[in-house]
């Protein structure tokens, strides 16, 4: 094996772009700019699949990304990259600098080729018009031969320079026994050019030549490729914008209390940083001193600044809008929320749903069929009109190239995921939008989803006279210190009594742990009663308000009752109404007690609700509903929602929720705004409709153009325009998904919530 890629095996080099998982699992995202079509993607996947240690390979023709997962104990990264290189492609690790450099060079090279082709086409058409006009007026043989030689001179650099990528791609494919989409194009250009050269040098003077068609082929095809490239760069720009939002340097406090400018990449957990007004936060951190506001619009899609005080978390990539802040780093590099968002966005753009895989399979054999059909048509025309055999065969080759079919799905998915990410919705799996578009039933968690999830302790009843309210709050804070549940957040806002040990988290019920060698439980009444042996406060009545009660107890007695309040989100009612307008059936599945769940359901007008559910019971209800058919979505935010999120056809997690919920979800509402859920469904439905439009157009275009070309009604230059226009139309149609949210029956935000708007597309 060549030593070209061995440097990437060095830990210090790989650390910048390789993600390390559990059990020696690694993942890398490579940029493979030589990819032209789905045949290239399938070739890479087929070459890597047999390697020992490979667990997953995804190659996307729209983004030119190859996502590879493997066992680093069995396989080296250099071996993977060399295998891709052996297939005729050039893999590069995907980093900010790599992407920017490759895109700049690619754009410049494409513009140069387009300029040469355009200049050549304009010049050559002058000669062609002169010869065509001269044919009617009796042009002399000397001038005719002169113009033909000039045409040869002008067409040659266009063919060998501007059309070079088509020939290189075709040669690479043919050498490795596959038929990519460059093959029919290269064959058409090569045959027309070679035949014209032979006619000029050795043929009869008045025999037709095709230099004008060759140059027009190249120009229009290059135009199509250039527009596609610009659209691709635009569609994948969301992930790059996120990655580039982290500053290169940070102001770190030293031992003496001063600050030193250091590279962001060397920051470590617990480093203390100074974030001045107007500066971007370089890592996830917690505020230790100062008060300010931060702009998190790039991550959440929310334009309203968020107030930050000591103890609050700040996110890498957000902007400090007010006074300076002192913060302590909690997560750096690939562990930050920003990096996780970028990673999941890239993964979603690189995955291909079922409809895309079907198009890939069709495109793969379609190229071979086109070559065979063009050859048959050419042979048939030799017996009909030998002079027209070559131009007809060329037209068939070019007009039916399935570039549009190959781009139909990935172009739309890339545009949709990019648009949603800018609106604060992270699509974590490529199949999510296809499923979300079919959703007819939505199960909703209550706390943290329909409500704010910011519970407040509104009353504390000490049921043990020897304990003060302060002591009860301190014990509760210790027990809940390691949990991210909204109840834990509310109870943990007070000084703790000490570190909790031997913690047992009973999902949906509560927490048991030891504090100062005493075993405590905190959670639901039944859960605490199992430890205390006493029924928990049977006379307590919350009067049906949006309240809940959490109990604290130890082995011999009940200690305290904490009464909590959780307000419904301001946008929830409008979002629920908007979902009903879209034909989505709603139901609440909650682990909370009956009274607060019933209160929320009543205020929202949702008749189908089930309270006091364990995680497995939520999953059982979901499975039972699925037996009636339809597509079911689930949205939640807690650890106890993870099983049902994983079991739903499509799942959504609130951005403020637990990490386990994020890992189980197909989409994450980073902004925790239910308005974005409505937008997501609208965008998903529009995406599927556009994909179907693209595929229908690509198939319909070929169905109409192929017989016309075979019958001799489509000139070669017309075929070039048609094929390029077909691909451009697919890309531009997909880019409609990137417009400012004007999806069918779209919604807009107002002071009072969500307002339906008329259909604009």
Q: For 704-713, how does the pLDDT look when each residue is reduced to its tens digit (9 = 90+)?
A: 888 998 888 8
583 phi/psi in degrees, rounded to 5? 80, 20
pLDDT (0 to 100) of residue 579: 95
Of 96-110, 347-361, 442-456, the one with minimum mean pLDDT is 347-361
587 phi/psi in degrees, rounded to 5? -150, 145
Buried b (16+ CB within 10 A) or exposed e, 110-129: beebbebbbbbbebbbebbe
Residue 340, pLDDT above cutoff 90: no
pLDDT (0 to 100) of residue 578: 95
Of 346-355, 392-401, 430-439, the one with minimum mean pLDDT is 346-355
Q: How does residue 632 score in pLDDT terms, banded at 50, 70 and 90?
A: very high
Tokens, residue 736 = 């409609």
Q: How far lies 549's CA from each of 461, 496, 556, 561, in Å? A: 10, 20, 20, 6
pLDDT (0 to 100) of residue 758: 34
Of 80-94, 506-520, 563-577, 629-643, the one with minimum mean pLDDT is 629-643
Domain ranges of the chain: 6-94, 248-335, 432-451+569-665, 456-565
Report the alpha-carbon distance of residue 652 to residue 417 in Å, rounded: 14
Count of Cβ atoms closer than 10 Å to residue 363 Cβ = 25
Of 233-242, 626-635, 642-651, the one with minimum mean pLDDT is 233-242
pLDDT (0 to 100) of residue 741: 46
Tell me what the pLDDT averaged over the chain comes to: 78
Would you say 179 and 367 are in contact if contact means Cβ atoms under 8 Å apart? Answer: yes
Residue with more model confidence, 515 or 61: 515
Residue with more model confidence, 273 or 394: 273
pLDDT digits (tens, 9 = 90+) for 114-158: 999 999 988 888 887 777 665 545 667 787 788 888 989 999 999
pLDDT (0 to 100) of residue 661: 53
Would you say 63 and 76 are in contact if contact means Cβ atoms under 8 Å apart? Answer: no
pLDDT (0 to 100) of residue 427: 82
pLDDT (0 to 100) of residue 658: 53
Residue 743, pLDDT above cutoff 70: no
Residue 750, pLDDT above cutoff 60: no
The stretch 631-640 carries a mean pLDDT of 79
Fold adopted by 6-94:
Alpha-Beta Plaits (3.30.70)
Q: Between 211-235 and 403-422, two packed helices, what is the crossing angle to 10 degrees?
A: 20
Fold adopted by 248-335:
2.70.150
Of 216-225, 340-349, 692-701, the one with minimum mean pLDDT is 340-349
pLDDT (0 to 100) of residue 304: 57
pLDDT (0 to 100) of residue 244: 54
Task: Tell me the torsion sign for CA atoms 306, 310, 316, 320.
Answer: positive
Residue 614, pLDDT above cutoff 70: yes
Supply the DSSP string of 255-308, one letter for each residue: TTS-EEEEEGGG--TT-EEEE-TTPBP-SEEEEEE--EEEE-HHHH---S-EEE
pLDDT (0 to 100) of residue 754: 41
pLDDT (0 to 100) of residue 664: 61
CATH number of 432-451+569-665: 3.40.50.2030, 3.40.50.1000, 3.40.50.300, 3.30.390.10?
3.40.50.1000
Tokens, residue 735 = 């880019």
Of 262-266, 502-506, 726-730, 751-755, the one with minimum mean pLDDT is 751-755
Residue 580, pLDDT above cutoff 80: yes
pLDDT (0 to 100) of residue 228: 67
Residue 485, pLDDT above cutoff 80: no
pLDDT (0 to 100) of residue 731: 79
Q: How does residue 436 score in pLDDT terms, banded at 50, 70 and 90?
A: very high
Using a pLDDT cut of 70, give the percent of the chain over it.
Answer: 78
The stretch 88-100 carries a mean pLDDT of 71
Q: How does residue 755 score in pLDDT terms, banded at 50, 70 and 90?
A: very low
pLDDT (0 to 100) of residue 747: 43
pTM: 0.60
Supply the DSSP string of 32-72, one letter for each residue: ETT--SHHHHHHHHHHHTTSTTEEEEEEETTTTEEEEEEET
pLDDT (0 to 100) of residue 463: 85
pLDDT (0 to 100) of residue 604: 93
Question: Can you identify the CATH homologous superfamily of domain 456-565?
Answer: Calcium-transporting ATPase, cytoplasmic domain N (3.40.1110.10)
Q: How does residue 678 score in pLDDT terms, banded at 50, 70 and 90?
A: very high
Would you say 532 and 554 are in contact if contact means Cβ atoms under 8 Å apart? Answer: yes
Q: How far lies 616's CA from each of 349, 425, 622, in Å? A: 32, 27, 10
Residue 612, pLDDT above cutoff 60: yes
């Amino acid at each position: 094996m060549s030593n070209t890629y061995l440097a990437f095996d060095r830990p210090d080099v790989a650390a910048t772009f390789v993600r390390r998982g559990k059990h020696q699992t690694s993942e890398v995202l490579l940029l493979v700019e030589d990819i032209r079509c789905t045949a290239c993607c399938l070739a890479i996947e087929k070459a890597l699949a047999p390697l020992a240690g490979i667990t997953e390979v995804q190659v996307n023709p729209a983004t030119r990304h190859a996502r590879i997962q493997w066992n680093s104990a069995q396989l080296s990264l250099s071996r993977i990259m060399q295998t891709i290189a052996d297939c005729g492609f050039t893999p590069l690790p995907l980093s900010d600098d790599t992407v920017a450099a490759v895109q700049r060079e690619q754009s410049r090279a494409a513009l140069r080729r387009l300029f040469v082709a355009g200049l050549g086409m304009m010049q050559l058409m002058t000669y062609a018009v002169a010869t065509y006009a001269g044919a009617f007026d009796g042009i002399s043989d000397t001038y005719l031969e002169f113009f033909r030689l000039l045409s040869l001179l002008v067409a040659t650099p266009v063919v060998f320079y501007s059309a070079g990528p088509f020939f290189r791609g075709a040669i690479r494919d043919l050498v490795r026994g596959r038929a990519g989409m460059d093959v029919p194009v290269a064959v058409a250009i090569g045959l027309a050019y070679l035949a014209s050269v032979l006619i000029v040098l050795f043929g009869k003077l008045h025999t037709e030549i095709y230099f004008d068609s060759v140059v027009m082929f190249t120009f229009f095809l290059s135009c199509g490729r250039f527009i596609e490239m610009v659209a691709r760069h635009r569609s994948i720009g969301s992930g790059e914008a996120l990655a580039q939002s982290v500053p290169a340097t940070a102001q770190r406090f030293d031992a003496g209390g001063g600050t030193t400018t250091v590279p962001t990449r060397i920051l470590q957990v617990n480093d203390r940083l100074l974030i001045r007004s107007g500066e971007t936060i370089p890592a996830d951190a917690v505020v230790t001193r100062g008060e300010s506001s931060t702009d998190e619009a790039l991550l959440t899609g929310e334009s309203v600044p968020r107030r930050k005080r000591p103890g609050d978390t700040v996110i890498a990539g957000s902007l400090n809008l007010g006074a300076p802040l002192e913060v302590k780093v909690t997560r750096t590099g690939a562990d930050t929320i920003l990096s996780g968002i970028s990673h999941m966005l890239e993964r979603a753009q690189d995955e291909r749903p079922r409809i895309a895989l079907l198009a890939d399979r069709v495109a793969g054999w379609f190229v071979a069929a086109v070559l065979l059909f063009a050859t048959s048509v050419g042979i048939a025309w030799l017996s009909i009109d030998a002079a027209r055999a070559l131009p007809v065969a060329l037209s068939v080759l070019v007009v039916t190239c399935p570039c549009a079919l190959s781009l139909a799905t990935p172009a739309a998915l890339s545009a949709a995921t990019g648009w949603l990410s800018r609106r604060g919705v992270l699509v974590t799996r490529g199949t999510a939008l296809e499923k979300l578009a079919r959703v007819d039933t939505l199960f909703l968690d209550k706390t943290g989803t329909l409500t704010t999830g910011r519970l407040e302790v509104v009353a504390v009843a000490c049921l043990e006279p020897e304990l003060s309210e302060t002591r009860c709050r301190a014990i509760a804070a210790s027990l809940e210190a390691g949990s991210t549940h909204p109840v834990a957040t509310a109870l943990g806002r007070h000084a703790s009594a000490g570190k909790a040990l031997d913690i047992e988290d009973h999902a949906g019920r509560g927490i048991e742990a030891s504090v100062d060698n005493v075993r405590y439980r905190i959670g639901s009444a039944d859960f605490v009663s199992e430890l205390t042996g006493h029924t928990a406060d049977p006379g307590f009545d919350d009067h049906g308000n949006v309240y809940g009660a959490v109990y604290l107890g130890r082995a011999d007695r009940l200690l305290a009752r904490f009464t909590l309040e959780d307000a419904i989100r301001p946008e929830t009612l409008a979002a629920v109404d908007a979902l009903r307008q879209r034909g989505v059936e709603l139901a609440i599945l909650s682990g909370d007690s009956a009274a607060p769940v019933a209160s929320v359901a009543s205020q929202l007008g949702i008749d189908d609700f089930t309270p006091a559910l364990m995680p497995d019971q939520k999953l059982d209800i979901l499975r039972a509903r699925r037996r009636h058919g339809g597509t079911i979505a689930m949205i939640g935010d807690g650890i106890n929602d993870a099983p049902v999120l994983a079991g739903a056809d499509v799942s959504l997690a609130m951005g403020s929720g637990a990490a386990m919920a994020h890992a189980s979800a197909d989409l994450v509402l980073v902004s925790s705004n239910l308005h974005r859920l409505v937008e997501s469904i609208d965008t998903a439905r529009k995406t599927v409709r556009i994909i179907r439009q693209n595929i229908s157009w690509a198939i319909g275009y070929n169905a109409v153009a192929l017989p016309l070309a075979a019958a001799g009604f489509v000139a070669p230059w017309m075929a070039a325009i048609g094929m390029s226009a077909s691909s451009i139309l697919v890309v531009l149609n997909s880019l409609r998904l990137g417009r400012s949210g004007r999806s069918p029956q779209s919604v807009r935000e107002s002071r009072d919530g969500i307002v339906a708007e008329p259909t604009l597309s």
